[in-house]
Structure 1
C-alpha cells in the first residue's frame, strides 16, 4: 500500500511539473517555458516575439503533417552537397566548417536542413497562387528606395593565413604575435565581384584589423583572413542586381501571403495561453 501511495504521489508530482512548464497549447501541441526562453536566447528576441515564432512553427508543423509533406534523406544530402560545392568544399569539410562556426554537429545540421526544406515545400504549396512576377516599374522603384542596401565594398586587402594544424592557426587568431613555421601567409587583394557570395559575406561581417574564423581551405587544411583594408564602397547598377531584386520582392510577397494565411490559421486554431514568461 505504501509503495502504491508513493507511485501515485510521484506521478502527480511529475504531472504537475510538466503542466507547470507549459506556456501555450496549440491544437494539442505544447510549447514550454523552456522552449520560449531557449528561442529568446538563440534569436535574441523578447518573450512575446519568441512565443509568436514558436506558435507559428507549431502551426507550420501541423500543416506539414496534415498535407503529408515529406523530405527524403537524399534531398537533404543534395542540398548540403550543393552548398558545399558553392563554397568549394567537400561535404566533410563543409560539416567541419559549420561545426566550427555554429557548433552544430552533422546530424543537427541535417535536421536544420530538413526543417528548411519542409518549410520551403509548405510555403510553395500555400503561396504559389498568391505571388506574381514583379513588373519593371516595381523593380525600378524597389531599387531606388533601397539603393543604399545594394552598395558594397569594391574589395578587400587581406593577409591569408593557412595551416594544416588547426590548433596552431587558432592560436594565431587569438594571439596575432604568435609565430609558427606551420603557418604560411600571403597578402592578396580580393575584388568583391570576383569572390564567392559566401566569402564576400564572411569578409563583410569581419571588422577591420580582425581575423575571420578558421575555415577549411579545400585542400585538407585551414585558413583565416586578416582584414587589412576595406576598399571604398561601390554603387551597384540596377542591371547587376535585377535578379536579386526580383527574388527580394517575390520573397516579400510570399511572406505577406504566408503571414496572412497563418494569422487566419492562428485565429481559428484551438489556442490556449497558460502563462507568460517572466
Structure 2
C-alpha cells in the first residue's frame, strides 16, 4: 500500500493539493480529477461525465454505477478470480464456431465492424470474470440453502421428480454447430460432419439437471444443443419415453438448491453487493 501511495504522490508533484489532482492527455485536456475513492481506488470526474454521456444517466446514477463496478472489480481480486489468455482464446473459438466461422474469419468480421480485436478480448475477459464472480456468489448460497426449504419444495413439486426410466433417442453430434443446426432442421437428410446413432438412455443414471433436459423435451422433438466436450456439440431426438420412476430427495437436493437460488438470483446478488457497499470506505473528495 505504501508503494502505491508513493507512486501516486510522485505523479501528483506540482499539482495544487490532495483532491485537486488531474491527469491530462497530450493536448492538455483534463481526463482525470479524482472525485471519489472506493476502498482507495479512484473514480475520476472524467469517468463520471463519460458514464453520464454514454448511458444518458443522471450524475448520481453514473456515480452509483461506477462505485458498483469498483466493488465488483475488488471482489474479483479478493476471491482471486483469474482468467488467463488461454481461457479467453478458448471462448473466442467457441463464439466463432457458434457463428459458423473459424477464428480468422471471426477476427476479420470484428475488424470489418470497426471493433478492435484487442479491445474485444479485454471486454470478453471482463465478462468471463464477472460470470465467475456471480457463479461464486450463487454457489455459496446453494451451499447454505436450508434443508427444510428444499424438502418443502420437493414435496410441493413432486411432478418435477417423476421421470421416465429410459428415453429412446437418436443422437446427432458434430464439431460444427452450423452443420448440427442444419441436421436438426432437416433430420431426414445426411449432413456432412454430423454423426447419427440410436441411443437408449437411462435417466436414473444422469444427474438431475441433465435429466431435466430430457424430461422437458417432448416426444418427436429435439433437445437443445448441448456441449459434448472436446469441441463437439450434441442434440438428441426423443423417439419415446419408457416407464416411470421418482428421483429420491437425496439425489434431487443439488438441483432443488440451484432452483431456489435461480428463483432469487437478482435478490441474492443485490443483497450481496449492498452488504459489500455498506462496508466499503467510500470517500467523496469533490462533486
Q: TM-score under structure 1 normalisation?
A: 0.49
Q: Whose relative contact order is higher, 1 or 2, with alpha carbons under 8 Å and at least 6 apart?
A: 1
The structure with the larger Rg is 2
